[in-house]
Structure formats: C-alpha cells, structure tokens
Chain A
C-alpha cells in the first residue's frame, strides 16, 4: 500500500473521445484518443509515457492538465479529484500542476518581455505578495540558468534552449507539485538538450518535483524516467520501472519500439535483433476489435484478433496487455519472428 500512499497523481480509467466529421448524410465518427488509461505517479519521481504519434500520449497529458474535456475517468492529485473541479475552483488548484510544451517558440508571447511572462504567471496564480514578485522572478531566472539582466529581453532575443528555460521558470513560478512535460526537449539541438535535461533533474532534486514526461525519444525517456508506460492507440500496453522495461520488454510493440531505436554501436548494426513494424499506426477512429496492435504484430494469433487483452501484472510492478505473454512474465512467442 505504500506505493499508493506516496502517489501524487492517480489517473483512473481515463477516457477522452472526440467526435469528428459528420455531415448531412454521414454519421459522426468518434476518435478514441485515450481509451481507458490508469496509472499512478509517485511523489518526487518521473513517470514517462512513450508511443508513436496518435498513441494518445499528448492527449493524456492535456487531460491531466484539464486542457481537454474528459469523457470519463478520475484524476486525483494528492487526495483532490481535479477531474471533477470546474471554474474558479479549478483555476485555484492549477498552481499545483503546471505544464511545459514542446515548442518553445510558440509557448511565449513574442510581444512580452521574458520577465513579464514570469511576473504574469505569479500575478495570475496570486503567488506571494506583489512587492516581492520581481525578486521572485529574478530567483526563478537564476534557478533555470538564465541571467537576471535578461529579464528585460523579448523572446526573439533568446535561443531555443533559453526559451525553454523561460517556459520552465514560468511553470515553476507557482511552486507546483507536478510538472507535465510534453516533449520538452525534442525541439532542441543535442547539446542543448543535455543542458535542459540536466537542469530538469537538478530542479527535481532541489524542489522535490514530480514530472509526467511525454516523449517519443527512447533515449531521453531512459535517461529521465523512473517508471514508464508504453501507449498504443489510446491504451497502455505495457508499464514497468525503467530497468524492467528496458532490460525485459514483454509486449511485442515495446520490443518493436526498442529495436527501432538506433544503437550507438556501429558494429552491432544489421544483426537479427529486429522486429520491424510495417506501415503506420492505424487510426484511432476505427479501432479494430481484439488487440489493437494485432494488425501490425508479427506474433498475433486468432485470439488476438477477437479478444482484447487486459493490462495485468505479470512480474513485480510490471504490467502488460498481451495474450502472448503468460502470467509468469514469459513470452509465448518466438524471439525471432517467422519470415
């Protein structure tokens, strides 16, 4: 029970569906962007969500931030159900959870000075007394590795990496418990990316932050996250702590993702360790019956096409939704796909 006791964020059976299209003679279709997702994030840790585009990872992040409407499900921050709050009550509690978006160019108002962007966050969240806020903005700038004299500059005068630091400083303005990061470094150059990741880890240590970390970059996730969920077409297909998931991936989709990531060893390339996925992820509009991955899975059998597998714990803390993995965490499929 201790894991539950420490949980800062608990998401239970979250569903986010969007109606699309629909005309005079055409029925409205339903995009099941997130379709029954549950996970919990321990306080002070980083929880990663990985998956291809269209897997629902960003929608999950937006739902946790209450930036899209929930179709159903609960979102608990501490013991408060933030999924049920509305209006002023929701706005008040927002200071406890903040977000960093992917594109540092689109996240800052080009006509507002960097210092004012942070001041505005402090004002809106009503943090501290107004007289102390300029000082607080200076502190935030220093903490995120910027110089106080840069407070007067406009966003275009900063590089991409510096802008992402401003966005992070603004997210930290209200002393949040949870920071939701949606691809925070994927717009940055490699060297700048390392600086940003180091900064995020240092801030986590200093302020006891909890991160919900969305990324498609497996290297970044492996470096940053304590626990990781792999999403496919709106559902979690596998979830475990970092060691277990990277050392012993069980779901064929996780295996395929891992083997798609280029290895850093030029001598190891071209070895038969590959599961190659054909085609693109299917559309979340017409979700196939059975396992959602069955159509691209090299190991799918008849049952996979008819019956949807449930996420179940097969090893300590390691959950997987696959018919071809037994209850003791053994893969029932050959490690080398036929053909």
Chain B
C-alpha cells in the first residue's frame, strides 16, 4: 500500500479541516438523536426504528449488532437518507453530522454530503457495483461529482485509491470491469469508492458476510488501517461478536428497532447487562475447544414481527428473566458511567440493582 490516502486536492483539504474543527470542540462527529422510522405496509404501520440515539466521536468505531430485522441496516439507511419514501418515512429525530442536521438539508445539499463526507459500504459487493462500467470509472465518478476533479485527475485518484486498498497492478486493473474481480477484491473496490472522497464517517453494513475468513481478516485490517490513517469514524454493522471484539471501540446492541444496550466494547463483551446481549454472546459457537457436546445457550424463539408489537419490552417473550411488568411497560433507560454506558431493561431500571 504505497499511496497516501491523504494526498489530495484543495477541496478535500477543506472538508478535512471542517471535520477536525468540530472534533476540536470535543463534541461528537455524528450524533443520532431519537430517530424514528415507520413503514406503511398493507397490514398496517411497521415501526422500524423507535427512538434510536447514539453518538460517534471522531476516529471512533461503533459496532451496531443484533439479529436480522432489528433495524441495524435501517439505521444506516436513515442516516444516509436512503430510506425509500414511500413506503418508509423518518417520522422524527435528528442526525447531526459535524454540527448540521442531515434530515433538514434539501436534496441537493444532501447529495453533496452523501458519498462525500458520509459514505457507506454495502453487504453485497456484486450488486453494489455497476457491471457495465469499469471500476475506475465508478470510483472516478464519485470524486468528479464531489471534488470537482477533472477527468484525468479523477482517473489518477482512482488508481491511487485502488493501490491504497491493496489491489495489485492497480494501474492495469482500474480499467477492468467488476466481473473480472473476485468477491474480496470487489469489496476492496467498494471500500476504495467509499473512501475516495475522504469521508468523515464510513458506514460499513456487514462488509464481510459473503467472504472467506482469510479475506474477512484482510478487509478488517484494511478498514482499521485506513481509519487510522484518515481519521474517519466508522459504524460497523454486524451480527458477529467476533468482528465486534476485533474492530470496535464501542458497541450498541439493537433489538426490534431500539438500542437496548450501549457501552465500550470491553464493558459489553465482558459484562453484558441486557439478557439479549448475554444471549447473543453465549450462543456463539466454538469459543472453547472443551465445550463440545455441551449444548449452546439458546435464545428461544425469533425476532417478533414489527407489525405485532404490543406494549412492554419487545424481548419479553424470549427472555429468561421476564417479569410481569416487562409485558406491560417499555422499560426506562438506565445510564451509568457518566451516561456512556446504558441499558434498557427492567432488571436495571430501579437504580442498577438486579
């Protein structure tokens, strides 16, 4: 990896300065406050996100974990303002990036932010790349639009980015088409595209799900390396607790459209508070060789349908600590450790006593 990701034109310099400026006042770079999203369906209104809040500091990596259908990807799409409307709608909340509420921006201004200062890597590199354009054209398009680089400079930038993400013979491969790349290489191209404009925040939605473990390790190394060099903040969406332990500084656990626990990665993995977090950690197989033959701990049942939500805690039906009040009232949020650790569960609602 020879290219310096920082070497770039004046436009990016300006963006970088703005990002650093907000970091200097000690505030978060991305502050999501009380985000609510609804989807209109034939069977009624599905409340997909219900009051999601979290803050991401500059250079920090936040893991967003939970099973499918818990709202992890929806949170990412809402931040990017990519929720299809209709049927979806952001009903309330704020997404403050670098002092600006993204939800209040007009479409044109939002387009300047999206893919430029906040960008995203999707799960399926095969479907996220356009098969009829070379990878170079696709990377160059982003920098030409956002950084107003002219053709030749944008092409150079594409080569530079492919080198930065570790694609061998980048100058030759920049003119190849997506089908000529392997799965891992395509994901590298996606990362190159997402980082070409030096974004302040990178959202990675299950970036390694379709990849082999060895390639997954390469992609994780690459993301951490680029994060450390560019100072970008990362939101990593995953269901893999191993990936969380490997990559993140902070963890937010989502269940049925809410964040049920948040804390530093050490706190959450070593002393999980919410029964759902405990279950997610305990049900991962193969942490100890000796444990063969012992059954894994199970979280019984499945994620409830968002259309069938009743009052109370959404996890109540699967929880082994369920009490009568869990089914009636949504538990209040308990904040500890200066507010950066929190849990939403009746077990802790009375001041932290179990």
- Please list the residues of chain A having a beta carbon within 8 angstroms of any beta carbon in chain B: 52-53, 159, 161, 189-195, 197-198, 201-202, 216-226, 242-243, 246-247, 256-257, 259-267, 269, 274, 276-281
Q: List 19 A-B contacts (CB under 8 A).
A: A189-B68, A191-B67, A191-B283, A192-B67, A192-B302, A216-B212, A217-B213, A218-B286, A222-B285, A222-B289, A224-B285, A242-B289, A246-B289, A262-B240, A262-B247, A265-B269, A269-B246, A277-B218, A280-B182
Q: Does B257 contact A (CB under 8 A)?
A: no
User: Distance in Å from the Cβ of B223 to the closest Cβ of chain A?
Assistant: 13
CA of A279 to CA of B181, assembled, Å: 12
Hey, which chain A residues are within 8 Å of B247, CB to CB?
262
Size class of the B contact interface (CB-based, 8 Å): 35 or more
Which single member of A197, A247, A260 contacts B217 (CB below 8 Å)? Answer: A260
B182, A198: Cβ atoms closer than 8 Å: no
- Tell me, yes or no, whether B354 is within 8 Å of chain A by CB: no
Q: Is B24 an interface residue (CB 8 A)?
A: no
Q: Which of A159, A191, A201, A264 contacts B293 (CB 8 A)?
A: A201
Closest to B221 in A: A276
| A190→B67 contact, CB < 8 A | yes
Verify if B10 is at the interface (C-beta below 8 Å from A): no
B296 with A266: CB separation less than 8 A: no
A280 in contact with B184 (CB, 8 Å): yes
Picked from B68, B184, B266, B303, the residue with its CB within 8 Å of the CB of A266 is B266
Contact status A159-B214, CB under 8 Å: no
Residues in A whose Cβ lies below 8 Å from that of B239: 189-190
Check if B279 sits within 8 Å of A219, measured CB to CB: no
Q: How far is the CA of A161 from the CA of B283 in the complex (A)?
A: 15
B 255-273 to A, binary, CB cutoff 8 A, 1 in contact else 0 = 0000000000110010000
User: A266 contacts B285, CB within 8 Å?
Assistant: no
Contact, CB under 8 Å: A194 / B296: yes
Q: Does B297 contact A (CB under 8 A)?
A: yes
Interface residues of B in 312-343 (CB under 8 A from A): none
Shortest Cβ-Cβ A-B pairs, 4 listed: A219-B286, A262-B242, A222-B286, A223-B285
Chain B positions 55 through 80: 1 when the CB is less than 8 Å from some CB of chain A, otherwise 0:
00000000000011000000000000
* Residues in B neighbouring A277, C-beta threshold 8 A: 214, 217-218
For B298, what are the chain A residues with a Cβ–Cβ distance below 8 Å?
Answer: 191, 194-195, 198
Give the residue name and chain of the A residue nearest to B296 (CB).
A194
Given the complex, which residues of B lie within 8 Å of A194, measured CB to CB? 283-285, 296-299
Is there an interface contact between A161 and B302, defined as CB atoms closer than 8 Å?
A: yes
Are the C-beta atoms of A198 and B242 separated by less than 8 Å?
Answer: no
Q: Report chain B residues within 8 Å CB of A216.
A: 212-213
Partner of B216, one of A201, A220, A225, A260: A260
Cβ contacts under 8 Å, A189 to chain B: 67-68, 239, 303
Q: CB distance A264 to B184 under 8 Å? A: no
CB distance from A23 to the nearest CB of B (A): 19
- The distance in angstroms between the C-alpha atoms of A14 and B283, with both chains bound, is 36
Q: Is B245 an interface residue (CB 8 A)?
A: yes
Chain B residues whose C-beta falls within 8 Å of the C-beta of A190 in the assembled complex: 67, 239-241, 280, 283-284
Interchain CA distance A215-B220 in the complex, whole Å: 21
Q: Is B292 an interface residue (CB 8 A)?
A: yes
A216–B212 CA distance with the chains assembled, in angstroms: 7
Q: How far is the CB of B164 from chain A (nearest CB, A)?
A: 16
Known A-B contacts A262-B246, A266-B266; the reply to A223 vs B212 at CB < 8 A is no
Q: Would A223 and B245 be within 8 Å (CB), given that A52-B212, A266-B266 are in contact?
A: no
The chain B residue with its CB closest to the CB of A220 is B285
> Contact at B292–A224, with CB atoms within 8 Å?
yes
Assess the A201–B215 pair: CB atoms within 8 A.
no
Residues of A within 8 A of B248 (CB): 266
**Chain B residue at minimal CB-CB distance from A246:** B289
Report yes or no: B218 in contact with A276, Cβ–Cβ below 8 A.
yes
Cβ contacts under 8 Å, A247 to chain B: 289
The answer to whether B84 has its CB under 8 Å from any CB of chain A is: no
| A299 to B72 alpha-carbon distance, docked (Å) | 42
What's the minimum C-beta distance from B134 to chain A, rounded to whole angstroms?
20
CB distance from A188 to the nearest CB of B (A): 10
